[in-house]
Amino acid sequence: MQTVPHRLVTIIAERGVRDRLLDAVHQLGATGHTISDVQGEGSRGGRAVRGGPSVKIEAVVTRPVAEQIAAHVAERYFAHHSVIVYLQDVEVLRGSKYAPHNQGA
């Protein structure tokens, strides 16, 4: 079995910025993503507030795309929004599936 090292970018964000984040993630080269509903607590409060769920966005991407996504999130969202981002190593099958085929869109 031929696995290829890639990066898993995880973004946890308040729901209001979800669509903007997804657009950015794809524009920066992700070929797919997985999203789930989560709840959280961080520096901007959390637990025991209902109606304020967050989303977790995960994308398996190449190393440079991962860096770009993390940098984008940091630059645009860290100041005004409840957002965190972290990167992990993953191994995938079919490495070509996750390579950005379309740099511009």
Ligand X SMILES: Nc1ncnc2c1ncn2[C@@H]1O[C@H](COP(=O)(O)O)[C@@H](O)[C@H]1O
Look-up of token digits 């740099």:
103
> Of the candidates 3, 34, 39, 88, which one interacts with other proteins according to CB under 8 A?
39
Residue 22 interacting with ligand X (CB under 6 A): no
Q: How far is the CB of 22 from its own copies (least distance, A)?
A: 7
Residue 84 interacting with ligand X (CB under 6 A): yes
Residue 22's φ and ψ, nearest 5 degrees, are -65, -40
Residue 14 interacting with other proteins (CB under 8 A): yes
* Amino acid (one-letter) located at 77: Y
| Cα dihedral across residues 43, 48, 50, 54: positive or negative | positive
- For 20, residues 6+ apart whose C-beta sits below 8 A from its C-beta are none
> Of the candidates 1, 51, 75, 101, which one interacts with other proteins according to CB under 8 A?
51
| Interface with other proteins (CB under 8 A) | 14-16, 19, 37, 39, 44-53, 79-82
